[in-house]
Amino acid sequence: MSDIIVSRLIEAFDRAAEAAFRRSAQAIGRRSALGTIGKLLVGGAMFPVLPFDRSGGARAADAPKDASRPEATDTDCDYWRYCALDGFLCTCCGGSVSACPPGSEPSKVNWVGTCHNAKDGKSYLVSYNDCCGKTTCGRCLCNGNVGERPGYRMGVHNDINWCMANTQTMYHCTVSVLVGVADGK
Ligand code: ABN
């Protein structure tokens, strides 16, 4: 065989070997990248089941009430009766905790919540009626959500204008009427 033919054969062999090494290096690189991503995904899925220290919330619940904080009154959102009230407090709009302001009337349909009164240790059924027929009061907006569920379960959602069944459907404010003691039976 002539020298030229031998050197051409060696060059061809070199090119073939180089191409094979490149393909193999690319495949191994992709595989190890896929492996790393897979490990991250599995690790990420496992992470939420690892234990968390949630004792901070329990400690906060046990903590004695801050004596310097004044007790909530019926014009404060955290007044006990308002635990499931979503709207403007009628006590800030010329009415009382259970009476609509002059010129408005209570809604025919309502939302009922169960609120705990820490003072006597009892829970009460509370009827939240919207007061209808006047423009929106706009004062003391509260958003109590105890027992509420998201909007797609309309029967247990309280972000609703209860004036819808009245002749005057305009919403003004919301009152909280005690219905009775919730004895849990
Ligand atoms: N129940 C109070 C209210 C009125 C109008 C819209 C949302 C909530």
148: Cβ below 6 Å to ligand 1?
Answer: no
Please state the atom number of ligand 1 nearest to the C-alpha of residue 88: 2
Q: 130 an active-site residue?
A: yes
How far is Cα 109 from Cα 185, in angstroms, rounded to an integer? 25
How far is Cα 75 from Cα 126, in angstroms, rounded to an integer? 17
pTM above 0.75, yes or no: no
Per-residue pLDDT tens digits for 19-77: 765 665 565 555 555 555 556 555 545 444 445 454 444 454 455 566 777 899 999 99
CA-proximal residue: ligand 1, atom 4 (nearest): 161
Per-residue pLDDT tens digits for 77-107: 999 999 999 999 999 999 999 999 999 999 9
14: Cβ below 6 Å to ligand 1?
Answer: no
> 131: how many CB neighbours lie within 10 A of its CB?
30
How far is Cα 166 from Cα 112, in angstroms, rounded to an integer? 18
Please state the atom number of ligand 1 nearest to the C-alpha of residue 128: 1
How far is Cα 117 from Cα 163, in angstroms, rounded to an integer? 28
